[in-house]
Structure formats: structure tokens, C-alpha cells
Chains A and B, each alone.
Chain A
Amino acid sequence: MKAFGFDYKRGTSIIHILDPRSKFIYTILFTALTVYFVNPLVLLLVFLSSVPMVIVAGVGKSWLRSIRGSLFFIAFIFIFNLIGIFWTTGSVADALIMSISMSLRFMALISIFSVFFLTTPPEDLTQSMVQLKIPYDYALTFNMAMRFVPTLSREAQIIMDAQRSRGLELEKGNIFQRVRNYIPILIPLIISSFRRAELVADAMESRAFGAAKRRTSLYVLTMGRRDFFFILFSAAAFLAFLSLKILLGIQ
């Protein structure tokens, strides 16, 4: 169980060496597109537009894992929209189109964010946040939250094993019972996270974290020509999508 494949692996592709800030601009612009449009074809296009980046970056395997990991949620979104919209409008066609749109929107979001996280070294991410004038404490908190995702998923697996060893059957009962079955897993997970957070805080303070009033950086990120082109290209694609709305009136 690898949670969402947001696990960065070192790479040397053009996507990997882009400045995190330029990738972040791409992420924001394309996220805006997924929220702005409801037409399933446009959303499909937004989704597909992230695929070449995945291929260039050579992170296809991890990307597929993210998509596969989110299939459950996608199915969930699809079914609930289908039922909900059919309930309110009474039209099967409307319900179907809307549910497909919502699922595609989610898939596009997962894909865009995967590209970002799979190709951006966590320490560069922190550094770029600091250079964007975000206080270091917050940047570090974010970095550590990401850093502990794999740890947490490993721990969830151990807890699941421990409870199954005491006769817990996760797949037993109706849907409400099944949700309740996860309580013996979630509680130890939350408590041990708190324990660990406290431990990490103590360990950091013992090594004089926060002693220096002003931090300086050994490495400073700089935007290069390729970043300029990448942002230009992202903005152009963004505007091209927007023109679909302005010129053709596609929602």
C-alpha cells in the first residue's frame, strides 16, 4: 500500500530540473482549468495534457500508481454524482455526463499534482516556498507532512496486520459496519502520529532548531531560460483552453 505514489525519486529529466516555482505556476493554472470547465471533453483534454510531461519525466510507473490508488475515490465520486444528479434532475443523460465530468476532473487533478510532486525534490520545494517569502516554519511543516506520508502508510499496514491478527475482518458487514471496522486502525495511527510528532519536535529542539533568528541558505534556487519557456508555454496552453470558452462558448 503506497499512498498515492507521491514519493519523489531522484531524476534528471527536463521536468525534474525545472524550478519548483515554474512547475507550481503550471499546477495552479491547470488546476484552475479543471475547476473552471465542466465539459467532459475539455476535462479529458486537460487530463491528457499532463501525460506528455509524465512521459518526458519518466515517472510513468509512479504516476500509474497514483491513478490506480485513486480509482476507489473516482468510483465513489462517479456513483454519488450519478445518483444525486439523477435524483434532482430526473435525467439519465445529464446525470451520466455530469458524473463523467466530475470523475475526469478528479483524475486530472490527481495527474497534475502527481507530476508536480513526483518530479520536485522535497527540499527544493521547501526552499522555493521560503524564497516565495513563506515563513520557514510553515514551509518546513509542509515538507515534513509530505515526508511522513510513506512512513504513515507503512505504519497503517503494520496496524492493520496487528488488528487482523486479533480477528478483525475489514471486509465484514454492510457499508456502515465496514467504515466502523477501520476505527481500530485509525486510532492507533493517530495516536502514534502524535507520539512521533512530539518525538521529532524534541529531537529538533535538542539540535537547536530555531536558535538562529535569521536563516541563510546554502543553495538558492534560480529561474533559468527553460523556466521562462515552460511558464510561457503553460500560460499559452491555459489561454488556449480559455479561448474555448470565449470563442466557442464551451462551459
Chain B
Amino acid sequence: MVTSRPFEGVEELILFEDVSYSYSPGRYAIEHINLSIDKGEVVAILGENGAGKTTLIKHINGLLKPQSGFVIVSGMNTKDTTVATLARHVGLVFQNPDHQLFAETVEKEIMFALTNFNFPEDEISRRVDWALKEFGLLEYKDRPPFLLSGGERKRLALASVLCYDPQIVILDEPTTGQDYRQKLHLASLIKKLNSESKTVVVVTHDIEFAADFIPRSIIMSKGRVIADGDSEELLTNRELLMSASLIPPQLVELSWDLALNPPTIHFDEIVSSVKKLLEGKKA
């Protein structure tokens, strides 16, 4: 068993130590999870439906408390910390914006978290302004959130969490229902958060998105972490992807078909390899 304050020396921002959780007896949603994420890292959590991804991230802001093992976030054991306290450090954006939008206007929606965390008035109006501009919502300021389009609602959900500047940002399936331009927008947002040395965790099915924009991947299957490391290394590993029921990124399939060694997830590497092949033929 663990004593209550062994965490003074913990350097990692997020630490899972042998964490298990089950919703109904006999079936674990996540089982023996060990992982650590440092400050400033950008991490993708990949895995098939029911792999335990959402259960895992709910442990980071304390919505779920580990039934065995422990989770440390910013030096706090989530077991003895309220969700409200953790939420100040961990911004969790849910998959479906309709599960959180409720206010009369877009502006008030963004204010919700800020007032919950007792920000001073001038700080609130400053942050609301920033969020409205940052997420292109300024012109909808006084509209009811329910009348926005799907993509706009998704942006508002993001804005309503990022406005309070949490040091860890968790995005649950941020790319579902988004067109390619929105995905690029999201990628640049992640890059920007990262440049402010925020930690970003992205839960996704979208393996292309992970391959293109996220340096580290954690692959889950049936409640366990089956691989954790460099995205390029993991996403070009055929057996690994098969065992996690993941379809490889298209660039990886292409580099397998071209028999590139080593296979790659980078477009320009494929281009240069193909050029080399062509030149070899000419010569």
C-alpha cells in the first residue's frame, strides 16, 4: 500500500501507478495502467472502442478515482483532491459539446468556468474577450449556443475550457465531425498550447491526426496500455497496430507498399524516397 504523501519528489506532471478501475464487478475498464507524462508533452491516446481511453482520462481530473493504484497530477493525489480543485489544473474538453453548453449566450457560456473558479471581474472580461477572439466566436457573442453550427459549438466547448488557462489540456475525440480545415486549426492550436509549455493529451480514433501532429502515442487495447512511445515508431509497427485493431495511417501503408526501410509517417520523407527511386531507375 501507498502512504499518503510520497509525492514530494515526483517530477512527472501526470503519473499513473498500477491503476485499475471497473464499472461492474469482474470486468475491468482499465487494468494495471502505468504511465507518466511530463510537463510540456503532447500525447495521443489511441485505441479501439471500449479500449478504456475515456476511463483513463477521467482519472486525470478526478472524475473517477482509482480503485487500486494511484494517480498523481501536479503533485496532488487525485484520491484526496476534489474534481473542482483538479479541474483548475486540468481542462477536459468532452467529445460532444451538447453535453456542456447550457448558457443563454456564448459569452456567458465562456464565463461559466471562470466564475466557478472565482476569477476577479476584470480578469473574467479580459479572458472572455481573448477566448471569443481566439476561437473566432466574437460575432456570436450574444447568441444562444444552441443556435450555432456543429463546428462552432465544438469551438465554443474548447473556448469555454481553455479560457481559464489550465496547465494540462485534455481533448476527448476533438476531430470527430470536423473537416480538414478545422483539423489543421486544431493542430495549430495544439502547437500553440505546446509552445506555452502546456501539456496536451488528445484521445482519438483519428490515427492520421496523431501521425501528422502528435509526437508521442500511447496505444490502449482492452483496458491496458500495450505500447507507449514515439509516434513514428509505434504507428509503423504492423503487429502492434493489428493487435490494437487500428488501421495504419495511409502514409505508413504507402511506405510499406513501396518497401521503404524504415517505413515513415512523414510525407516529405516519402517524397524524397520516391524521387530517389525514380532517379535510380533513370540511371
* B83 interfacial contact with A, CB 8 Å: yes
8 A Cβ contacts from A29-65 to B: none
Q: Which residues of B contact A158 (CB under 8 A)?
A: 94, 96, 99
* Shortest Cβ gap from B133 to chain A (Å): 20
**Known contacts A161-B63, A162-B94; is A167 also within 8 Å of B99 by CB?**
no
Give the contact stretch, choosing among A109-117, A140-148, A186-194, A208-216. A186-194
* B137 interfacial contact with A, CB 8 Å: no
* Shortest Cβ gap from A118 to chain B (Å): 19
B63 touches A164 (CB 8 A): yes
Prevailing SS type, chain A contact patch:
helix
B102 touches A169 (CB 8 A): no
A167 touches B113 (CB 8 A): yes
- Interface contacts (Cβ under 8 Å), in number, total 66
8 A Cβ contacts from A144-203 to B: 155, 158-159, 161-169, 183-185, 187-188, 191-192, 195
A192 touches B99 (CB 8 A): yes
Contact with A along B54-89 (1 / 0, CB 8 A): 000010010100000000000000000011100110
Q: Which residues of B contact A185 (CB under 8 A)?
A: 102
* B250 interfacial contact with A, CB 8 Å: no
Of the candidates B58, B88, B99, B164, the one having the most CB atoms from chain A within 10 angstroms of its own CB is B99
* Bound CA span A159–B92, Å: 13
**Known contacts A166-B87, A167-B84; is A183 also within 8 Å of B116 by CB?**
no
B98 touches A166 (CB 8 A): no
Of the candidates A158, A161, A184, A192, the one having the most CB atoms from chain B within 10 angstroms of its own CB is A161
B88 touches A188 (CB 8 A): no
How many chain B residues touch the partner (CB < 8 A)?
27
* Bound CA span A178–B164, Å: 24
* Bound CA span A162–B61, Å: 11
A161 touches B58 (CB 8 A): yes
Q: Which residues of B contact A162 (CB under 8 A)?
A: 92, 94, 99-100
**Known contacts A161-B58, A161-B63, A162-B94; is A167 also within 8 Å of B87 by CB?**
yes
* Shortest Cβ gap from B21 to chain A (Å): 14
Of the candidates A155, A161, A166, the one having the most CB atoms from chain B within 10 angstroms of its own CB is A166
Q: Which residues of B contact A155 (CB under 8 A)?
A: 99
**Known contacts A165-B61, A184-B112; is A159 also within 8 Å of B100 by CB?**
yes
Q: Top 9 closest A-B pairs, CB basis?
A: A167-B116, A187-B102, A162-B100, A166-B113, A165-B92, A162-B94, A162-B99, A184-B102, A164-B83
Given A166-B100, A167-B113, 9 more pairs with CB closer than 8 A: A155-B99, A161-B63, A162-B100, A165-B91, A165-B94, A184-B100, A188-B100, A191-B98, A191-B146
Please report B residues at the A interface, Cβ cutoff 8 Å: 58, 61, 63, 82-84, 87-88, 90-92, 94, 96, 98-103, 112-113, 116-117, 146, 160-161, 164
